Structure 1
């Protein structure tokens, strides 16, 4: 029986899972070897050091998603234009080693003449569609650069990127607001987080509401320990405020529990219910792509 080595090679980390013909995870490994730690020309060496023992079997096929396909990665996999589903993505693979190792392309789309891109998230979305049994829907991938993805007929029709996590870090560490907050975030204060979300949802925009971190602290209406959670609510609330979807809509959240829990609470203030999918979305997406490339994969 053939095996798939599914690899998620991002900016700061390298993860791999060995899957059987039915998509079951046999083994998993992770390394602090994101593409930023790899010198040009050393990607093959790093890959061999991490996964040679799994690639030793003649029947093992490898698919790699993420920033390994960027210009700074192992081999550039040019963006595939939306709308795109399994067939379109599979037809745009960049082959490192013919028949054995391939890199999944990122996706691109345009909104009002402005391009947007993703790398790695497309695999998570395609995997989540299978795990949740969806052909249409709105999927959100929270993170440093959050993605809001619209799926129609099993294809990614369009998406938008929001620099929410990065703006939180900038405000938290490098703005006037940082002076009011402790060095470490600490445990999430959910009441403070909810207050931040609520203000953003009814506010005029983050450029105005962010200053409330300063003034609430100045007048002693919120303690310093609660401010990071409050600021997190403000930036996530701002992201959600800008979205156009009807009350009562359902959203699929993909990602780590720590972030999807925050987004689930924030979306709840707009009357939106959520489904959640974790890291398994990447493995399921890569396995489904392997089936698209090799229709007899599980035989």
Structure 2
């Protein structure tokens, strides 16, 4: 059952998953739920699917105590529940609320959806993010002193590197590293020698070997070494995925550092094995360690977004990452 302390329901709604947070008036996460009902995996297609997924994950919370609801991620995309136009960079996270869109569910609940960001300045290819802008807001809520000057690294299927200046996201870049890894492993000749199931424990030595090979450049040539090292027995089959991961993440880190100002304070956003791999790559290739502990800032970012939208009080600030 719900608690009278509930002040907000916050949804992190992506392509493949949906996570819901029941939050207190100070931003504390009171309860978390997650399921696989991302926007491409709804119970049924279209509006009915969004309504059903919403009701399943938080309907009982809202029935017990009607409170504001905020959401971020692909739920605001053209394929989402309601499209919310991107906010152009440079942009401060406090501007997300002004660009948000609110919809009313069939049950009468209002859901305020964050807009995402677009970087499309002169002389550059356009780049977009949805969901990561809320992670940025959460990190800045926990570490406000870094808002003036920081570089944020957000690992994922499509990793983001965002540069902060004077409290604004001034530019960012997306790297399709995670998706390329999945495609190469499942649908290319490189995966033929790899075991079907991932190893329970990643091999750091093979990963570091991939990082060092990435430093040498020539990615498309280096990729073929995944096959030849396996064919010649120089690497056992179980180590090949870790070597490939090192190649791809290593090249991302080196390219991103060259394109952005990597000397500014660095924040690594996320948790789990993938974030650990990026931390290892940053230290190995750049000699850098994050200037604050990694973590999941989405709840804090969603709470700050709700504060900026006037949906919850500012009398108590969140610092939970």
SS in 2 for 1:71: coil
> 1:2 offset after TM fit, Å?
6.5
User: What per-residue deviation string (whole Å, max 9, x for no partner) do you get for residues 193-231 of structure 1?
Assistant: 001001101x22311211111222222211111111111
Aligned to 1:40: 46
The match for 1:278 is: 295
List runs of 5+ in structure 2 lacking aligned partners: 316-321
Post-superposition offset of 1:30 = 1.0
Q: Tell whether 2:127 aligns with 1:116.
A: yes
Q: 1-side partners of 2:203 and 2:234: how far apart?
A: 15
| CA contact 1:5–1:61 (8 Å) conserved in 2 | yes
Q: Which residue of 1 aligns with 2:318?
A: none
Superposed counterparts of 1:104-253, under 5 Å: 104-110=114-120, 112-133=123-144, 134-135=146-147, 136-186=149-199, 187-201=201-215, 203-242=216-255, 243-244=257-258, 250-253=265-268
Q: Normalising by structure 1, what TM-score?
A: 0.93
Q: Does 1:84 align with 2:91?
A: yes
Cα pair distance change 1:86/1:2, threshold 3 Å? farther
Structure in which a larger fraction of residues adopt strand: 1
Structure 1 regions of 5+ residues with no counterpart?
A: none
- Paired with 1:261 and 1:35, the residues of 2 have a C-alpha distance of 28
- Rounded Cα–Cα distance in structure 1 between residues aligned with 2:94 and 2:143: 19
Matches within 5 A, 1:97-108: 97=104, 100-108=110-118
Q: Distance in 1 between matches of 2:271 and 2:177?
A: 16
- The verdict on how the C-alpha distance between 1:298 and 1:216 changes in structure 2, with shifts beyond 3 A counting, is same
Shift of 1:239: 0.3
Q: How many residues align?
A: 297
Structure 2 CA distance for partners of 1:215 and 1:82, relative to 1, 3 Å: same
Matching residue of 2:30: 26
Question: Contact 2:151–2:262 (CA<8 Å) still a contact in 1?
Answer: no
Compute the displacement of 1:52 (Å).
Answer: 1.6
Kept in 1: contact 2:271–2:295 (CA 8 A): yes
Q: Specify the SS of the correspondent of 1:211.
A: helix
Report if the CA contact (8 A) 1:250-1:272 is conserved. no
Shift of 1:86: 2.8
Structure 1 residues 239 and 295: CA distance shift in structure 2, 3 A = same
Cα RMSD, aligned residues only: 2.0
Would the aligned equivalents of 1:63 and 1:286 in 2 still touch at CA under 8 Å?
yes
Contact 1:14/1:34 (CA < 8 Å) preserved in 2?
yes
Q: Is the 8 A contact 2:306 2:312 kept in 1?
A: no
Deviation at 1:108, TM superposition (A): 0.4
**Distance across 1 between alignment mates of 2:186 and 2:171:** 33
* Length-normalised TM-score, structure 2: 0.87
Of 16-25 and 239-248, the range deviating more from structure 2: 239-248
SS in 1 for 2:85: coil
**Higher mean C-alpha displacement, 25-34 vs 244-253:** 244-253
